[in-house]
């Protein structure tokens, strides 16, 4: 672990192994934190808050630390990305691109650190000056998943630090090594010890963080079930949460769309990162006039996707991250087949001759699916696309919104009026028009309904980690009546 600027074992001495999903070989041994370790990390973070080396920094100097860290992560991006590939099996070119994006988040929020302002409120009391001050919440817990460990960690950590908080990170037990590898860069950048801490482990550590009275806020990225449990625990002690949760996103193709672009967008939406992304466009709705043509194109492309070593440049899709996740995908596709879905591509584990023990699942396309079925309503988190036909705009908006999730959606059309009209009616935090699976540091990101609360990225993100103080100053000479409220 990483506590108060030092590498630390778990208090119990417990550890767990990290295995490479490409070949199943264990390659890292990680400390398994318990409640006592969370206590230590929170104590270190609390101490940093009151240390002038951090708590006394001006916002401008705080921002400069984030800018220095950005340069260092940029320098080491490929090295950290290679570790992420060993952890979760995603393509090196995907992970390297994400690691090169992380510095942009740090630079954006580093620049935003000294742009946080209060305001002077014009009271109807001429002798009183009233103004507001935006202050950090305190210690923030950041709990992140395995699919994009560095990017998703810094999407929460960067605004939290820019706002002046200290943080405790709990990465997924699947992808702890890459986060730990980044920690020495903090001291190199000039961050005081204890400002950023990492506890590694599984459920026990996460539950201890959610329940800890010293953590003012939990920023959680992950599944909706876990997110709901964390939100309930934090709410019980009157803490707050930002939740970026699951999705069952609709990708909608109208008959007038550029089918070449829509084909590429549909593939990116579900087979990029092997479908292991919360924004996966796992429900594809295609207007009936072009349904058969686009479906045939997608099936042909899916059957030609190159599976293999994620470090190899020619590989287009790597393995699934864990055996448990692979079993879940298998079960959900088997259930869909039993419910009447037709498997037009994939539908089973895939064997890569050079990597016979790899956790590969074939790119899968299902038709004859109903929008009410399990495969169309539950998050698979794998390379499985459910394709459905529709006739009218009214119908597809109703179908797209008929889910408990609301994270993202895609719309493909040449009709600019329809694009805006449908985007307004879709119940999703992000709507892409004629593109899919895009994200950046200065545009807010988050979900509707069970896809989460709060927003990451953009100016809205730093607001998630600040609290407002109202200061009243009497400028006059009148003595207040102690028994009358001053209104």
For residue range 382-404, list pLDDT tens digits in order: 999 999 999 999 999 999 999 99
Is 74 noted as a catalytic residue in this protein? no
pLDDT bin (cut points 50, 70, 90) of residue 335 is: very high
Q: Are 83 and 178 in contact (CB under 8 A)?
A: yes
Q: Please give the torsion angle defined by the CA atoms of residues 402, 404, 406 and 407, in that order, rounded to the nearest 10 degrees.
A: -130
Rounded Cα distance between 114 and 395, Å, is 48
pLDDT bin (cut points 50, 70, 90) of residue 487 is: confident
Is 204 noted as a catalytic residue in this protein? no
* pTM of the entire predicted model: 0.96
Rounded Cα distance between 29 and 471, Å, is 51
Summarize the confidence of residues 348-365 as an average pLDDT: 97
Rounded Cα distance between 404 and 224, Å, is 10
Rounded Cα distance between 84 and 147, Å, is 9
Residue 297 main-chain phi, psi, to 5 deg? -60, -45
Instruction: Tell the residue number behind the tokens 């990029």, with chain if given.
Output: 272
Asked if pLDDT for residue 486 goes beyond 90, the answer is no
Q: Indicate where the chain has its CATH 3.40.309.10 domain(s).
A: 250-433
Residue 389 main-chain phi, psi, to 5 deg? -95, 155
Res 431: pLDDT: 98
Summarize the confidence of residues 274-298 as an average pLDDT: 98
Instruction: Tell the residue number behind the tokens 């999705």, with chain if given.
Output: 247
Q: Maximum CA pair distance of the chain?
A: 87
pLDDT bin (cut points 50, 70, 90) of residue 53 is: very high
The proportion of the chain whose per-residue pLDDT surpasses 70, expressed as a percent, equals 100
Options 8, 87, 173, 278, the catalytic residue: 278
Query: How many Cβ atoms sit within 10 Å of the Cβ of residue 337?
Result: 14
Q: Are 177 and 141 in contact (CB under 8 A)?
A: no
Rounded Cα distance between 465 and 448, Å, is 20
Q: What is the tens place of the pLDDT at every residue in 243-282?
A: 999 999 999 999 999 999 999 999 999 999 999 999 999 9
Asked if pLDDT for residue 220 goes beyond 90, the answer is yes
Asked if pLDDT for residue 341 goes beyond 90, the answer is yes
Options 84, 173, 244, 263, the catalytic residue: 244
Q: What is the tens place of the pLDDT at every residue in 433-465?
A: 999 999 999 999 999 999 999 999 999 999 999
Domain 250-433 of CATH type 3.60.15.10: no
Instruction: Tell the residue number behind the tokens 């192994």, with chain if given.
Output: 17
Q: Indicate where the chain has its CATH 3.40.605.10 domain(s).
A: 2-245+451-471
Q: What is the tens place of the pLDDT at every residue in 74-84?
A: 999 999 999 99
Fold of 2-245+451-471: Aldehyde Dehydrogenase; Chain A, domain 1 (3.40.605)
Residue 128 main-chain phi, psi, to 5 deg? -115, 130
Phi-psi region of 273 (alpha: psi -120 to 50; beta: other; left: phi over 0): left
SS3 content of the chain, % helix, strand, coil (to 5): 40, 20, 40
């Amino acid at each position: 672990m990483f506590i108060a600027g030092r590498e630390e074992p778990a208090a119990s001495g417990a550890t767990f192994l990290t295995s490479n999903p490409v070949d199943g070989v264990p390659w890292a041994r990680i400390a398994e934190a318990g409640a006592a370790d969370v206590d230590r990390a929170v104590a270190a973070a609390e101490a940093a808050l009151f240390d002038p080396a951090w708590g006394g920094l001006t916002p401008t100097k705080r921002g400069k630390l984030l800018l220095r860290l950005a340069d260092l992560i940029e320098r080491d991006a490929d090295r950290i990305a290679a570790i992420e590939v060993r952890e979760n099996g995603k393509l090196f070119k995907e992970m390297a691109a994400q690691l090169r994006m992380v510095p942009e988040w740090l630079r954006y929020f580093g620049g935003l650190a000294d742009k946080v302002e209060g305001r002077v409120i014009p009271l109807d009391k001429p002798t009183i000056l009233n103004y507001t001050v935006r202050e950090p919440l305190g210690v923030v817990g950041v709990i992140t998943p395995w699919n994009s460990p560095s990017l998703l960690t810094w999407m929460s950590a960067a605004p939290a630090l820019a706002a002046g908080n200290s943080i405790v990170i709990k990465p997924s037990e699947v992808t702890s090594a890459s986060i730990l590898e980044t920690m020495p860069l903090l001291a190199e950048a000039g961050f005081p010890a204890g400002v950023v801490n990492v506890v590694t482990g599984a459920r026990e550590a996460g539950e201890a963080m959610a329940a800890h009275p010293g953590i003012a806020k939990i920023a959680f990225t992950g599944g909706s079930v876990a997110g709901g449990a964390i939100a309930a625990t934090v709410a019980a002690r009157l803490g707050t949460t930002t939740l970026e949760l699951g999705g069952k996103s609709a990708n909608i193709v109208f008959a007038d769309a550029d089918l070449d672009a829509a084909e590429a967008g549909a593939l990116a939406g579900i087979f990029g990162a092997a479908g292991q992304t919360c924004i996966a466009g796992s429900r594809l709705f295609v207007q009936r006039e072009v349904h058969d043509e686009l479906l045939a194109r997608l099936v042909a492309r899916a059957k030609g996707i190159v599976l293999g070593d994620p470090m190899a440049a020619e590989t287009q899709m790597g393995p699934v991250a864990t055996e448990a996740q692979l079993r879940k995908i298998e079960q959900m596709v088997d259930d869909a087949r039993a419910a009447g879905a037709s498997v037009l591509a994939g539908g089973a584990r895939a064997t890569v001759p050079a990597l016979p023990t790899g956790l590969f699942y074939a790119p899968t396309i299902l038709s004859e699916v109903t929008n009410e079925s399990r495969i169309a309503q539950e998050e698979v988190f794998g390379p499985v696309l459910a394709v459905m036909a529709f006739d009218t705009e009214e119908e597809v908006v109703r179908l797209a919104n008929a889910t408990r999730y609301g994270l993202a959606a895609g719309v493909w059309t040449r009709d600019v009026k329809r694009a805006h009209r449908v985007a307004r009616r879709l119940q999703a935090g992000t709507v892409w028009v004629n593109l899919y699976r895009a994200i950046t540091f200065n545009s807010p990101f988050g979900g509707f309904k069970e896809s989460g609360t709060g927003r990451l990225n953009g100016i809205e993100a730093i607001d998630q980690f600040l609290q407002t103080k109202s200061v009243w100053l009497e400028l006059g000479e009148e003595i207040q009546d102690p028994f009358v409220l001053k209104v």
